[in-house]
Amino acid sequence: MRLPYAELILAGAAAGLSVATLLMFSDIGFNAHYLQHVVITRWKFFALFAMLFAIGGWWTVRTWRQLWRSGRSDWERLVFDRGVRGFGLQTGISLIAIIAWAGWREDSDGMFGPMMIGGALAGLFFGVPVALHMGYFWGMNVAKIIGVSRDPRVETGEPPHLS
Could you report the per-residue pLDDT of 89-135, keeping only the tens digit for each?
999 999 999 999 998 888 876 778 888 999 999 999 999 999 999 99
SS3 label, residue 155: coil
Please tell me the predicted confidence (pLDDT) of residue 152.
77
- Residue 30 has φ and ψ, to the nearest 5°, of -110, 25
Q: How far apart are CA 129 and CA 114, in angstroms?
A: 23
**Per-residue pLDDT at 138 exceeds 90:** yes
Q: How far apart are CA 117 and CA 65, in angstroms?
A: 26
With contact defined as beta carbons under 8 Å apart, do 114 and 25 qualify?
yes
Of the ranges 19-23, 45-49, 58-62, 153-157, which one carries the lowest mean pLDDT score?
153-157
SS3 label, residue 150: coil
All residues at 6 or more sequence positions from 128 whose CB lies less than 8 Å from its CB, including other chains = 60, 63, 64, 92, 95, 96
Q: Which amino acid is at 122?
A: A
- Closest CA relative to residue 13, chosen from 74, 48, 56: 56
Residue 29: band (very low, low, confident or very high) from pLDDT cuts 50, 70, 90: low
pTM as predicted: 0.83
Mean pLDDT, range 19-46, rounded to an integer: 81
The total of other beta-carbon atoms located within 10 Å of residue 52's CB is 16
The ranges assigned to domains in the chain are: 6-146
Mean pLDDT, range 12-40, rounded to an integer: 82
Instruction: List the Cα angle 157/69/9 in 5-degree steps.
Output: 110
The total of other beta-carbon atoms located within 10 Å of residue 58's CB is 21
